[in-house]
Amino acid sequence: MPAIDDLFLRLSRSPFRQKFHLGHREYRYCLDKGEEEIVAHAADFIRERLAPAEPVNDGKQTPMRGHPVFIAQHATATCCRGCLSKWHQIPAHQPLTAAQQAWVVQAILHWLRLEMQRPQPPAPRRKKDPTKDKQLRLL
Protein backbone atom coordinates (compact mmCIF):
# COMPACT_ATOMS: atom_id res chain seq x y z
CA MET A 1 0.00 0.00 0.00
CA PRO A 2 1.49 3.40 -0.95
CA ALA A 3 2.37 5.64 1.98
CA ILE A 4 -0.31 8.23 1.12
CA ASP A 5 -3.01 5.52 1.12
CA ASP A 6 -1.77 4.25 4.48
CA LEU A 7 -1.89 7.79 5.90
CA PHE A 8 -5.43 8.39 4.66
CA LEU A 9 -6.58 5.01 6.01
CA ARG A 10 -5.29 5.99 9.45
CA LEU A 11 -6.80 9.49 9.19
CA SER A 12 -10.17 7.94 8.25
CA ARG A 13 -10.29 6.33 11.69
CA SER A 14 -10.05 9.69 13.45
CA PRO A 15 -13.44 11.32 14.10
CA PHE A 16 -11.67 14.65 14.65
CA ARG A 17 -9.87 14.55 11.28
CA GLN A 18 -13.01 13.38 9.47
CA LYS A 19 -15.08 16.40 10.50
CA PHE A 20 -13.09 18.74 8.25
CA HIS A 21 -14.53 19.61 4.85
CA LEU A 22 -14.29 22.59 2.54
CA GLY A 23 -17.03 25.15 2.90
CA HIS A 24 -18.62 26.93 -0.04
CA ARG A 25 -16.09 29.78 -0.08
CA GLU A 26 -13.05 27.52 0.16
CA TYR A 27 -14.45 25.20 -2.54
CA ARG A 28 -15.05 28.17 -4.85
CA TYR A 29 -11.57 29.49 -4.05
CA CYS A 30 -10.06 26.20 -5.24
CA LEU A 31 -12.11 26.33 -8.43
CA ASP A 32 -11.22 29.96 -9.09
CA LYS A 33 -7.48 29.76 -8.32
CA GLY A 34 -6.73 26.32 -9.74
CA GLU A 35 -4.52 23.54 -8.46
CA GLU A 36 -1.20 25.13 -9.40
CA GLU A 37 -1.85 28.27 -7.32
CA ILE A 38 -3.24 26.28 -4.38
CA VAL A 39 -0.12 24.09 -4.38
CA ALA A 40 2.04 27.22 -4.38
CA HIS A 41 0.09 28.56 -1.40
CA ALA A 42 0.49 25.25 0.43
CA ALA A 43 4.24 25.20 -0.18
CA ASP A 44 4.55 28.80 1.04
CA PHE A 45 2.48 28.14 4.19
CA ILE A 46 4.48 25.02 5.03
CA ARG A 47 7.84 26.71 4.42
CA GLU A 48 6.93 29.77 6.50
CA ARG A 49 4.75 28.35 9.28
CA LEU A 50 5.77 24.71 9.75
CA ALA A 51 9.28 24.11 8.40
CA PRO A 52 11.30 25.95 11.08
CA ALA A 53 12.65 23.80 13.91
CA GLU A 54 10.66 25.87 16.41
CA PRO A 55 7.69 27.46 14.56
CA VAL A 56 6.19 30.60 16.04
CA ASN A 57 3.05 29.73 18.05
CA ASP A 58 3.49 26.03 17.31
CA GLY A 59 0.22 24.26 17.87
CA LYS A 60 -1.73 27.44 17.17
CA GLN A 61 -0.16 28.66 13.93
CA THR A 62 -2.75 27.16 11.57
CA PRO A 63 -6.18 28.80 11.55
CA MET A 64 -9.23 26.51 11.44
CA ARG A 65 -10.73 28.35 8.46
CA GLY A 66 -10.09 31.09 5.94
CA HIS A 67 -8.11 29.19 3.29
CA PRO A 68 -8.56 25.69 1.82
CA VAL A 69 -4.98 24.78 2.74
CA PHE A 70 -5.62 25.55 6.42
CA ILE A 71 -8.61 23.20 6.48
CA ALA A 72 -6.62 20.55 4.63
CA GLN A 73 -3.80 20.87 7.16
CA HIS A 74 -6.15 20.02 10.01
CA ALA A 75 -7.74 17.17 8.05
CA THR A 76 -4.34 15.69 7.22
CA ALA A 77 -2.65 16.31 10.58
CA THR A 78 -0.12 18.67 9.00
CA CYS A 79 -1.16 21.66 11.10
CA CYS A 80 1.62 21.69 13.70
CA ARG A 81 4.85 19.94 14.61
CA GLY A 82 3.09 17.81 17.23
CA CYS A 83 0.69 16.41 14.64
CA LEU A 84 3.53 15.90 12.17
CA SER A 85 5.37 13.88 14.79
CA LYS A 86 2.35 11.80 15.82
CA TRP A 87 0.80 11.12 12.41
CA HIS A 88 3.72 11.42 9.98
CA GLN A 89 6.70 10.39 12.16
CA ILE A 90 8.45 13.67 11.34
CA PRO A 91 10.47 14.62 14.42
CA ALA A 92 9.90 17.97 16.10
CA HIS A 93 12.61 20.49 17.04
CA GLN A 94 14.49 20.30 13.74
CA PRO A 95 13.83 22.05 10.45
CA LEU A 96 11.78 20.17 7.86
CA THR A 97 13.83 18.91 4.95
CA ALA A 98 12.78 19.67 1.38
CA ALA A 99 11.53 16.06 1.09
CA GLN A 100 9.47 16.39 4.27
CA GLN A 101 7.96 19.65 3.04
CA ALA A 102 7.11 17.98 -0.28
CA TRP A 103 5.42 15.12 1.62
CA VAL A 104 3.28 17.56 3.59
CA VAL A 105 2.24 19.41 0.44
CA GLN A 106 1.48 16.06 -1.23
CA ALA A 107 -0.81 15.06 1.67
CA ILE A 108 -2.60 18.42 1.55
CA LEU A 109 -3.04 18.23 -2.22
CA HIS A 110 -4.32 14.64 -2.03
CA TRP A 111 -6.97 15.68 0.51
CA LEU A 112 -7.98 18.72 -1.54
CA ARG A 113 -8.37 16.59 -4.67
CA LEU A 114 -10.66 14.24 -2.75
CA GLU A 115 -12.67 17.17 -1.40
CA MET A 116 -13.09 18.67 -4.85
CA GLN A 117 -14.72 15.42 -5.98
CA ARG A 118 -17.51 16.01 -3.49
CA PRO A 119 -20.52 18.09 -4.54
CA GLN A 120 -20.02 21.82 -4.10
CA PRO A 121 -21.28 22.89 -0.67
CA PRO A 122 -24.25 25.27 -0.75
CA ALA A 123 -23.64 28.99 -0.41
CA PRO A 124 -24.20 30.33 3.09
CA ARG A 125 -27.65 31.75 3.62
CA ARG A 126 -27.73 35.44 4.33
CA LYS A 127 -29.54 36.58 7.41
CA LYS A 128 -32.54 38.70 6.64
CA ASP A 129 -32.11 42.31 7.71
CA PRO A 130 -35.38 43.36 9.40
CA THR A 131 -34.62 47.05 8.81
CA LYS A 132 -34.87 46.45 5.08
CA ASP A 133 -38.14 44.52 5.27
CA LYS A 134 -40.80 46.53 3.46
CA GLN A 135 -43.47 44.94 5.62
CA LEU A 136 -41.94 46.34 8.79
CA ARG A 137 -43.62 49.60 9.76
CA LEU A 138 -42.51 51.85 12.58
CA LEU A 139 -45.33 52.93 14.82
What is the total count of domains within the chain?
A: 1
Residue type present at position 12: S
The pTM score is: 0.85
Q: Indicate the DSSP class of residue 131.
A: G
CA-based torsion, 12, 14, 15, 17: positive or negative:
negative
30 and 36 in contact (C-beta within 8 Å)?
no
In a domain, 86, yes or no: yes
pLDDT above 70 coverage of the chain, percent: 90
Residue 12's pLDDT is 96
3-state class (DSSP) for residue 69: helix
Residue 56's pLDDT is 85
Residue 51's pLDDT is 95
In a domain, 135, yes or no: no
Residues of the chain with pLDDT under 50: 139
Its domain, for residue 35, covers 3-120
84 and 52 in contact (C-beta within 8 Å)?
no
| Separation in Å, CA 43 to CA 23, 73, 77, 100 | 21, 12, 16, 11
In a domain, 62, yes or no: yes
Rounded CA separation 119/59 (Å): 31
In a domain, 125, yes or no: no
In a domain, 34, yes or no: yes
Residue 131's pLDDT is 61
